[in-house]
Amino acid sequence: MRITGGQVFDLEQGFAPRDLYTEGALISSAAGGETVLDASGCYVIPGLVDVHFHGAVGEDFSDATAEGLQKIADYELSQGVTYICPAGMTLPEDQLTAICKTTAAHRKQNSGGAEVVGVHLEGPFLCEAKKGAQNGAFLHDPDVPMLKRLQEAAEGLVKLVTVAPEQPGSIAFIQAAVEMGVTVSVGHTVANYDTARAAFEAGASHATHLFNAMPPFVHRDPGVIGAAFDVPGVQPELICDGIHVHGSAVRAAFRLFGAKRMILISDSLRATGMPDGEYPFGGQMIEVHGNRATILHHPETLAGSVTSLMGCLRQAVAFGIPVADAVWASTYNPAQSIGIDHRAGTLDVGKEASLVLLNQNDLSIRKIVFKGEIVSA
């Protein structure tokens, strides 16, 4: 396939006018086959990578159903999100085990849709005070044997785990998780600067939805945000749905950390792609009005977003983030954070040919190509 006339995303140049070639499932140095895609007036970007979301189109990853996970994967691919690492909630271990087993079975079946590349255990190793929409009844201190059991159930697919580093045993847990090849994220925490920095220096390299469910950045106690900034290589997530983080804070985070460290996430719920109403979420009920989702009868508690990652990319650009920076934070950085950047996240020769053509005028999707196959017109 030859993709011609577009502005192609590049880590060094941002966007550059050039032809892009694919052969089979991979990006190549010369075209394979006779198919030509006209990308005139388009940005050509890698398929997006979402490492933190819960569901869509009425389905929740935590329900651990094969049918639900398939519907989620199909929806995500339709939105230009080609690789997904969905997040489980704070739930009992038997349900977390079911989530992990369902994910492993889904990968073996290889039944289409966005590729499920991992599991994000957002819970249960969080703190009560910053549990947010998580169910406090199932919170659990960091537990290495539990993580090992869940990783075994997932057949190695647990790629990311969130932990509150002030909880008992957290440093040993972080070190053990890193040795297992799991990326550790600091989040849902009341940790101060020193505690958070100790976690990052122990091997944590990620911050779960920066600003949300953590202490604010204060000049005498910079907390998780200050610690994340001070430790090179830490990558903060950001929910850019226009609800969770003000546009000024989005711009400040990109300026503080730089686009090469930021990770855009959707944190989307089962209500994404659905009408307003009430929906179950992690053993609780949420209420959705427009693009705002809150715990039922607790409108002050946000429960996640109802915006896809592609929608968050567009919102970041609307907030003033350069398109190339928003793409970087939605593709390469998340891929790198969970160790799939050797095959995804850029449009380099030899990478998988998963890409999206976005109309330059409004960032709407013109075409989606997944592993060399056109999946949308």
Residues catalogued as catalytic:
267
Distance CA 63, CA 60 (A): 6
Query: Can you tell me which residue has the tokens 């106690």?
Result: 221
Asked if residue 81 lies in contact with residue 45, where contact means CB atoms within 8 angstroms, the answer is: no
Q: Residue 184's beta-bridge partner residues?
A: 161
Long-range contacts of 370-376 (CB under 8 A, 24+ apart): 370/47, 370/77, 370/82, 370/114, 371/25, 372/1, 372/22, 372/23, 372/24, 372/25, 372/26, 373/25, 374/35, 374/37, 375/77, 375/78, 376/78
Distances (CA, A) of 315 to 141, 240, 241, 340, 373: 36, 6, 6, 25, 28
What single-letter amino acid sits at 373?
A: E
